[in-house]
């Protein structure tokens, strides 16, 4: 009897967190899948309509436009912040004057809430009173500063710049942690053998940073697919859906247009896209564990 109680104890400790996880995560996910098959305004009873929301979604030009913007965000996010973060980590991994100050300065944007970052950059981008246009016009680089958040051609990239500004510091910290875990004797041996700095980086440091790079890429992919806060605060997807992304499109359809079922269908598509990269990441992690 005592032995059976001891065997049961771990499961009892797990019961509450598993129950909470089911109530707050699994159940809402399942309900979202169900809602995606209904026509619901958020007030009356949902009407089951099958796959009509998905059929309508794949004929919706705004959906494809938002998906394209997400892919642009994704392509930028897995290149520029990763390269800049790695470069900063390599530079700040050395003992230099003001090292702690620079680390803190580059990571500080990540501490700010997305909404705060969006408001700050919204002021900076202001076409008349904004600091950026003021500098451009004062230095006579341009006669009249552009409308950063009102020009269809540049609005998306203006928001992505803000996202990069936040992301670089986070990537830098992850790579710094990875660099600290590298055995200094390996680098000393490469130096003794006459390897150049670039050769040491390419042949020793970068391969040893592969696990960190995988984490950084997966986080960057997921962050790019669920981009919402900055778009919502700075443009709400405008002008004319030029900066719309899937998460923002979903929010507008569900909570502004009261098409809860349609919004749920967009959420399911977004979840499926994220799931692809999560599965790839888990597969890579499991492979590494099996090798060890």
CATH code of 120's domain: 1.10.3720.10
Domain of 258 in residue numbering reads as 17-291
Confidence of residue 289 (pLDDT cuts 50, 70, 90): low
pLDDT confidence band for 291 (50 / 70 / 90): low
Residue 2 pLDDT > 60: no
* pLDDT tens digit sequence for 138-183: 888 888 888 999 999 999 999 999 999 999 999 999 999 998 888 8
Q: Is residue 8 part of a domain?
A: no
**Tens-digit pLDDT profile for residues 47-99:** 999 999 999 999 999 999 999 999 999 999 889 999 999 999 998 888 778 87
pTM of the model: 0.87
| Residue 275 located in a structural domain | yes
Q: Is residue 144 part of a domain?
A: yes
For the chain, how many structural domains are there in total?
1
Rounded distance between C-alpha atoms, residue 274 and residue 279, angstroms: 9
Buried b (16+ CB within 10 A) or exposed e, 26-51: eeeeeebeebbbbbbeeeeebeeeee
pLDDT of residue 201: 82
Quickly tell me which residue has 């928001």 as its tokens. Answer: 159
**Residue from 238, 235, 240, 243 nearest 126 by CA:** 235
In a domain, 211, yes or no: yes
Question: Mean per-residue pLDDT for 269-283?
Answer: 84
User: Does residue 1 surpass a pLDDT of 60?
Assistant: no
Any domain includes 2: no
**Is 5 domain-assigned?**
no
Q: Is residue 70 part of a domain?
A: yes
Candidate from 62-76, 212-226, 227-241, 246-260 with smallest mean pLDDT? 212-226
Answer yes or no: is 10 within a domain. no
Q: Cβ(70)–Cβ(159) under 8 Å?
A: no
Q: What's the token pair of residue 148?
A: 């950063």
């Amino acid at each position: 009897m005592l032995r059976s109680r001891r065997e049961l104890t771990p499961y009892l400790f797990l019961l509450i967190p598993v129950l909470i996880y089911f109530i707050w995560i699994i159940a809402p996910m399942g309900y979202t899948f169900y809602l995606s098959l209904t026509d619901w305004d958020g007030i009356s009873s949902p009407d089951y309509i099958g796959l009509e929301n998905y059929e309508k979604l794949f004929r919706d030009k705004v959906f494809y436009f938002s998906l394209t913007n997400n892919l642009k965000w994704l392509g930028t996010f897995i290149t520029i912040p990763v390269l800049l973060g790695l470069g900063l980590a390599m530079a700040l991994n050395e003992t230099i004057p003001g090292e702690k100050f620079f680390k803190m300065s580059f990571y500080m944007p990540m501490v700010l809430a997305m909404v705060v970052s969006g408001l700050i950059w919204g002021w900076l981008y202001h076409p008349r009173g904004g600091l950026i246009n003021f500098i451009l016009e004062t230095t006579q680089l341009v006669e009249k500063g552009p409308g950063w958040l009102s020009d269809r051609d540049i609005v998306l990239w203006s928001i992505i710049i803000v996202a990069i500004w936040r992301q670089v510091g986070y990537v830098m910290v992850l790579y710094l942690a990875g660099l600290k875990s590298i055995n200094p004797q390996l680098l000393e041996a490469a130096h003794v053998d006459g390897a150049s700095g670039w050769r040491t980086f390419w042949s020793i440091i970068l391969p040893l940073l592969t696990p960190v790079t995988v984490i950084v890429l997966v986080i960057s992919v997921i962050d790019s697919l669920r981009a919402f806060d900055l778009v919502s605060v700075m443009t709400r997807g405008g002008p004319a859906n030029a900066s719309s992304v899937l998460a923002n499109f979903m929010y507008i359809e569900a909570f502004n247009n009261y098409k809860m079922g349609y919004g749920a269908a967009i959420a399911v598509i977004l979840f499926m896209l994220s799931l692809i990269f999560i599965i790839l990441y888990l597969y890579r992690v499991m492979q590494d564990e099996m090798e060890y």
